[in-house]
A and B are shown apart, each in its own frame.
Chain A
Amino acid sequence: AQSVTQLDSHVSVSEGTPVLLRCNYSSSYSPSLFWYVQHPNKGLQLLLKYTSAATLVKGINGFEAEFKKSETSFHLTKPSAHMSDAAEYFCVVIRNTGNQFYFGTGTSLTVIP
């Protein structure tokens, strides 16, 4: 079975400090992993995706994530938080032959001025 666990439901950081949003996955197959972001009253926007190429994936808006098979993790990071990063972030897994996305429960990021 495929699933993801987002370890923090809420994360609060000061503007200009690093962001770390944690995600662990379980998958019986070689997984494809994604991070999506949802800003208030907006749709889900793809930040980045891992599909068994480079383990360090760079996304939009300065975000990146590293796939670590030994730790079954796909944590999302950003060196310096910006006020516009305040949103809800979802870690998502899909098995390579599948059509279903399995979402984590989401992490709400607050950025303090």
Chain B
Amino acid sequence: EAGVTQFPSHSVIEKGQTVTLRCDPISGHDNLYWYRRVMGKEIKFLLHFVKESKQDESGMPNNRFLAERTGGTYSTLKVQPAELEDSGVYFCASSHLSTLNTIYFGEGSWLTVV
């Protein structure tokens, strides 16, 4: 069974540009989460999808971040325009609807804004 897949694995962009991160959850997982770790800080929750609906987006830092999950399969996280403080690792995770506390993480997308 394939795990949670994230793309790109690494991205370097200039301040003011746009970046789109993609996450493919494990097949059949209705729950999809985005987390991120900015440099020197702890990993923090961004948002949670149940199928295509945003269940909780309380962790989204500001309106430069837009997450979508059209069709309830893969998800994208767009940062527009990117700022220096957005640099870090963005993790995606997924789980079955009935097993909220067993989630599987991807390898992360490493974003560097210069």
Chain A residues proximal to chain B, CB less than 8 Å: 32, 34, 36, 41-46, 49, 51, 90, 94, 96, 98-106
Contacts and interface: CB of A to CB of B under 8 A. Distances in A.
A99 to B, nearest CB: 5
A103 B44 contact: yes
Nearest to A4: B42
Contact of A103 (B33, B43, B103): B43
Interface stretch (B63-71, B74-82, B104-112): B104-112
A46 to B, nearest CB: 8
A94 B101 contact: yes
B42 A44 contact: no
A44 to B, nearest CB: 4
6 nearest CB pairs, A to B: A43-B107, A44-B105, A103-B43, A100-B45, A105-B42, A32-B101
B56 to A, nearest CB: 6
